[in-house]
Structure 1
């Protein structure tokens, strides 16, 4: 029976690129699918792998091209990537690249764009919880679910217990990102709930984005303190922050350093940091 058509490749190759221009950082997070066609029929019909490029190699080339081209937009990056496959392997007749981009929007504080702090576009779902009984005032809670934000530097994790089970190295410079669930309990009615909610969120982001973080725990506590100081009508604020990990990709096998420029985005498994900050 004839083999009518074949192609193969690698899907969901997730890569985060950071391009540094002094203190100004540009970020680009892509999920790439690279599919190739060409002289591969015998792998199907005769169990002959002699012309087949390993799918792991296809993935590695995405990471190498990412490291060599941190400044390119998604369209330019995908074209360079496709040409790399064609230039490297004469048995490839055609390449199909598709890339979906996760958009991060730069934060602004005091009307000034911040160089390395971002929020996810189309971000978060605000919510309200009311618990009402007869004979008493309702208990009102506001919050936001799945609000993602990150900074590409000014975060560390050091001076923690290390033993024979510890493999994570300490660092004073890492990416820090989370998808936060936060809620705050009202003790009084503000002049405007929407305005107060916006002020709480702005305060949380400003503390996170503009100060060095010794840990997510350190940032959350200071964020909570600032929110309580900013909006006196809330009694306490709770935050649950699963880490969105960006793991530096080891490119030494290709003679390349990384320099904290290319990362693998992943959220499984993730650290889960939670706290509630209230008034004394």
Structure 2
């Protein structure tokens, strides 16, 4: 039993079941110079540490806890030392720095979201140091490093795509609450969150991530979709076949609905020509496809 410093009552000490702490939204822009050509990488990182920090929570003893401001400084220094690393190996180097610095740390979790900048072309020629912001989808990396190994996922957040036909929804279970009508011709659109687990290191992370996205979009665009569920499964299947370095891929796809407008009051039909865009409420389709 511990005497409360605030009151004269005795209280039982409750267990600290789990704890971690760190620094969030550490924003950095790295510029890597290779002669006249430059590359840019803008990241927002969250770094979380687990280890021997319990006494800071239970006893106000900060002896083993480094400042979160120090953690931010470490991110900045490692960024300066590694301007040319792609996001995945940069996160690995950053995690290793924390493990090497602090013996009281047992694991480092890093989440890095990237702001995409695409190289600007002038008269069809890529410019060496000018870029335009690409807001479709935000690449991210999730890494957990311990002293015995590293697990890492890469992915895309809110990557939006659609097709205006070659999608349907028929033969589904119905009951007294069902009102939606079957169709074999509808708009299919989503704002996808997808991630894939690395089981091996590719030669080039950026090129391999781009290949995964290309495979997913190619399967979506070039095949009929009897349901979003079936499309996601086939997209994951093709990604696994194309990229042996990943062990599984997860996709979460909220529907972006386009509802056909009723124009009969104006003496007009609507042959899937005019729609009301809406995002709420939306269907939420999720799946993970792995190698078994």
Shorter-chain TM-score category? 0.5 to 0.7
**C-alpha displacement of 1:122:** 2.8
RMSD: 0.7
Q: Normalised by the size of structure 1, how large is the TM-score?
A: 0.56
Match of 1:133?
146
Match of 1:220 among 232, 241, 246: 232
In the alignment, the residues of structure 2 paired with residue 227 and residue 137 of structure 1 have an alpha-carbon distance, to the nearest angstrom, of 25
SS in 2 for 1:237: strand
Give, in whole Å, the separation in 2 of the partners of 1:131 and 1:198. Answer: 23
Alpha-carbon distance between aligned partners in 2 of 1:266 and 1:138, rounded to the nearest angstrom: 41
TM-score between the two structures when normalised by the length of structure 2: 0.54
The C-alpha deviation readout for 1:217-276, integer Å capped at 9, x for no partner, is 000000000000010000000000000000000000100011101000000000000000
Aligned twin of 1:191 = 203
Shift of 1:163: 1.3
Distance between the aligned counterparts of 2:248 and 2:196, measured in 1? 6
Match of 2:277 in 1: 265
1:179 corresponds to: 191
Runs (5+) with no aligned partner, structure 2: 1-133
Query: How far is the alpha carbon of 1:167 from its aligned partner?
Result: 0.0
Matching of residues 30-45 of structure 1 within 5 Å: none
Count of residue correspondences: 159
Cα offset for 1:137? 2.0
> Would you say 1:144 and 2:180 are equivalent positions?
no
- Structure number with larger C-alpha Rg: 2
Q: Which ranges of structure 1 fall in alignment gaps of 5 or more residues?
A: 1-120
Tell me whether 1:164 sits opposite 2:186 in the alignment: no
Q: What's the CA shift for 1:162?
A: 1.3
Higher relative contact order (CA 8 A, sep 6+): 1
Q: Distance in 1 between matches of 2:285 and 2:206?
A: 27
Taking the aligned partners of 1:137 and 1:188, their CA distance within structure 2 comes to 13
* 3-state DSSP of counterpart to 1:146: strand
1:279 paired to 2:291? yes
Q: Measure the CA separation in 1 of the matches of 2:206 and 2:172.
A: 40
